[in-house]
Amino acid sequence: MNVQLLAQFIVIFAAFFLLVNMSAVLVLAERKVMGFMQQRYGPYLVGPHGMLQPFADILKLLMKEELRPKGADKWLFTLAPVLAVTTAFAAFATVPFGGQTTLFGLLDQPLKLGAADVNVGVLVIFAITSMGVYGIVLAGWSSNSKYALFGGLRASAQMISYELSYATALAAIIMLAGSMSVREMVDTQAGYWFGVIPKWYVFIQPVGFIIYFIAGVAETNRAPFDFPEAEQELVAGFNTEYSSVRFALFPQAEYINMVTVAAVATDLFLGGWHGLLPFRTPLDGLIEYWNVGWLVFFAKIGGILFFYIWMRWTVPRYRYDQLMKFGWKWLLPASVLNLLATAAAVLYFNA
Amino acid sequence: MLESLLFYVMSGLAVGASALVIGQRNPMYSVMLLIVAFAALAGLYIGLDAPFVAMAQMIIYAGAIMVLFLFVVMLLNAAQEDAAEWDRTHPLRRPGFARIGVVLALLFVVELGWALAKVAALASPVAGRADGAVVGSVREMGRVLFSQYSFAFEATSILILVAMVGAVVLARREGDA
């Protein structure tokens, strides 16, 4: 068998394996960080410092009975969680997570770290994440329950509203990079200004980054924008009627989507695998020498995910109408203005 | 080989899903099948070497517009509306719009046949530019849209704007400010 192809398969499998486990790690991280912020230990009993808690949770969920409400739609009720988790995995397909490597000289040609590299990569990510809403909406509708239906309705309205700002923030970056391939967009951020500050797009597009991040939080239905679930008002929102493994797939999809949003933010705004900190350190030379940019990439993802969790446990929730007002009256105009300003600047400096 | 396989699978999926869309009693299933049909069309575009159009199809039609459809279906909660009464009447004796629908369908079939006859006469069914180059990349497409086809492009956007304003006017209830 072709060695190059085999190596590519290994990379794809590694990405998949990483995503599967990422949801377990994030569940634990979320509970530990929450405990830390509320001045308690969090899960502590299963394994050393409660490290094995996610496995206990998964085992518990696997052994539960799978319930389906009598009035639920049989097909769509089964399809919804599958759809949610499939789209979450698929969206990571065109996200590159490292530069080129020959695996310590094992391969003849350098291998690109990332499942696939297509020339409209950003659009692929965007297209697949926009499919993800169907899982939630269908779950809400097919459960035949008022709370679930409200959760599904809110999910669809929220997704439509925030997808626009999300895409417009990305469009500004596409204009700056002059490419839609995520790998090429990352590589335009290599190098330093004045030999100190890395050429990350977050420094050129600070507004775009903030818009992207807010819209990303809303897209993944995380607090303070967790309206499809809304434990305080809707019991558990769209997944009220779900139990056992079918239920487990929804949080898993949510955590994988979080990883994808963080990975895209790292790739497009924070320079991907170029430069660890927002200024040049001796460590950067070492990283380039050893060619371990993917470690830098995952460190940045970790940072963003920590910020995600931090935000959930510190920022109070919005009200639903405030969310809609904020999305349409503030975020969208801001992102359109940002896009226009970027277009004008690109025309002025490049023409 | 692979290309023709993709074509047959995707077009089969598109035709099958579209046929099922109109055969469903439950509007929710219709919407889901329409999404499948749109996704299959996106697959066909990839086969035609137009990845940008394929992704635009996914984002705009399968993503945004169908979420709106779903939203409306859920809000109206129109599952199995008047199904019993509908079943009792013969298709040809149904009132008003249903009969116009038959005429429209006939018209579309005639149009389709006419269009297919035209395409068969062309040397290459893929629309190319005057100099023969196929427009595939985003850069090329943007240039062509804003130069060669700028009138059609602007006319379409005004048409959509008019439709949008019309929808808002129609949807607003009497007496609302």
Q: What is the DSSP secondary structure assignment for residue A319, as one 8-state letter?
A: P
With b meaning 16 or more CB within 10 Å and e meaning fewer, what string describes A175-190?
A: ebbebbbbbebbbbbb
* Per-residue pLDDT, B78: 55
In this prediction, residue B124 has a pLDDT band, given cuts at 50, 70 and 90, of low
Task: Give the residue from A86, A122, A123, A126 with the most B CB atoms within 10 Å of its CB, the best one to mutate.
Answer: A123
In this prediction, residue B91 has a pLDDT band, given cuts at 50, 70 and 90, of low
Region A93-111: mean pLDDT is: 74
* Per-residue pLDDT, B132: 47
pLDDT at A277 over 60: yes
Task: Tell me if A120 and B63 make a contact (CB, 8 A cut-off).
Answer: no
Task: Give the residue from A86, A124, A137 with the most B CB atoms within 10 Å of its CB, the best one to mutate.
Answer: A137
pLDDT at B69 over 50: yes
Region A40-45: mean pLDDT is: 84
Beta strands in A102-143, from DSSP E residues, in sequence order: 111-112
* Per-residue pLDDT, B157: 92
pLDDT at B125 over 50: no
In Å, how far is A319's CA from the nearest CA of chain B?
Answer: 20
Across the interface, of A76, A127, A157, the residue whose CB is closest to B28 is: A76
Question: Domain range holding A165?
Answer: 3-350
A156 is written with which tokens? 């669809």
Bridge partners of A193, per DSSP, are: A197
**Contacts of residue A99, Cβ cutoff 8 Å, sequence gap at least 6:** A112, A113, A273, A291, A293, A294
Nearest residue of B to residue A148 by CA position? B74
Helical residues (DSSP H) of B25-147, grouped into ranges:
27-47, 51-56, 66-76, 83-88, 97-121, 138-146
Q: Which chain B residues touch A124 with a CB distance below 8 Å?
A: 55
A31 or A117, which is more confident? A31
Each residue of B148-165: pLDDT tens digit?
888 988 999 999 999 989
Task: Give the residue from B35, B41, B68, B74 with the most A CB atoms within 10 Å of its CB, the best one to mutate.
Answer: B74
- What's the ipTM? 0.78
Task: Tell me if A153 and B74 make a contact (CB, 8 A cut-off).
Answer: yes
Taking the C-alpha atoms of residue A125 and residue A91, their distance in angstroms, rounded to an integer, is 5
pLDDT at A255 over 70: yes
Task: Tell me if B59 and A141 make a contact (CB, 8 A cut-off).
Answer: no
Across the interface, of A123, A137, A153, the residue whose CB is closest to B59 is: A123
How much of chain B, in percent, has pLDDT values that exceed 90?
A: 12
B30 is written with which tokens? 């219709």
Task: Tell me if A123 and B70 make a contact (CB, 8 A cut-off).
Answer: no
Each residue of A281-333: pLDDT tens digit?
777 777 777 777 788 888 889 999 998 888 888 888 878 888 888 888 888 99
Task: Tell me if B67 and A134 make a contact (CB, 8 A cut-off).
Answer: yes
Phi-psi region of B124 (alpha: psi -120 to 50; beta: other; left: phi over 0): beta
Region A187-205: mean pLDDT is: 81
> Number of helices (H) and strands (E), helices first, in chain A?
15, 4
Question: What is chain A's length?
Answer: 351
Task: Tell me if B138 and A180 make a contact (CB, 8 A cut-off).
Answer: yes
Looking only at the bridges linking them, the beta strands covering A111-112 and A192-193 are: unpaired
Q: Which CATH class is domain B2-136?
A: mainly alpha
Q: Does B134 touch chain A (CB under 8 A)?
A: no
DSSP state string for A251-268: HHHHHHHHHHHHHHHHHH
Bridge partners of A111, per DSSP, are: A101
Across the interface, of A75, A119, A156, the residue whose CB is closest to B71 is: A156
* Per-residue pLDDT, A198: 81
Q: Does B146 touch chain A (CB under 8 A)?
A: no
Region B129-155: mean pLDDT is: 74
Q: A273: closest CA among A116, A98, A110, A103?
A: A98
In this prediction, residue B94 has a pLDDT band, given cuts at 50, 70 and 90, of low
Region B86-97: mean pLDDT is: 62
Task: Tell me if B62 and A131 make a contact (CB, 8 A cut-off).
Answer: yes
Instruction: Enumerate residues 30 to 49 of chain B having a beta carbon within 8 A of any beta carbon in chain A.
Output: 32, 35
Residue A43, CB half-sphere, CA atoms under 13 Å: how many? 18
Q: How many independent structural domains does chain A possess? A: 1
* Angle (nearest 5°) at CA B154 between B151 and B156: 105
End-to-end CA distance of chain B: 61
Task: Tell me if A131 and B70 make a contact (CB, 8 A cut-off).
Answer: no
Each residue of A130-170: pLDDT tens digit?
888 888 888 888 888 888 888 888 888 888 888 888 888 88
Instruction: Enumerate residues 70 to 109 of chain B having a beta carbon within 8 A of any beta carbon in chain A.
Output: 70-71, 74-75
pLDDT at B60 over 90: no
Q: Which chain B residues touch A142 with a CB distance below 8 Å?
A: 28
Region B111-135: mean pLDDT is: 65
Q: A83: closest CA among A158, A163, A155?
A: A155
**Are the beta carbons of B37 and B18 closer than 8 angstroms?**
yes
pLDDT at B89 over 70: no
Each residue of A208-245: pLDDT tens digit?
899 998 888 888 887 788 777 767 777 777 787 787 88
Q: Which chain A residues touch B58 with a CB distance below 8 Å?
A: 127-128, 130-131
Peptide bond into A224 cis (omega under 30): yes
* Per-residue pLDDT, B127: 52
Taking the C-alpha atoms of residue A49 and residue A36, their distance in angstroms, rounded to an integer, is 13
pLDDT at B97 over 80: no
Nearest residue of B to residue A163 by CA position? B64
Q: Does B9 touch chain A (CB under 8 A)?
A: no
User: What amino acid is encoded at A67 in this protein?
Assistant: L
In Å, how far is A305's CA from the nearest CA of chain B?
Answer: 26
**Are the beta carbons of A273 and A297 closer than 8 angstroms?**
yes
In Å, how far is A171's CA from the nearest CA of chain B?
Answer: 13
Task: Tell me if B28 and A131 make a contact (CB, 8 A cut-off).
Answer: no
Nearest residue of A to residue B57 by CA position? A127
Across the interface, of B29, B67, B74, the residue whose CB is closest to A159 is: B67
**Are the beta carbons of A209 and A202 closer than 8 angstroms?**
yes
Q: Which chain A residues touch B56 with a CB distance below 8 Å?
A: 123
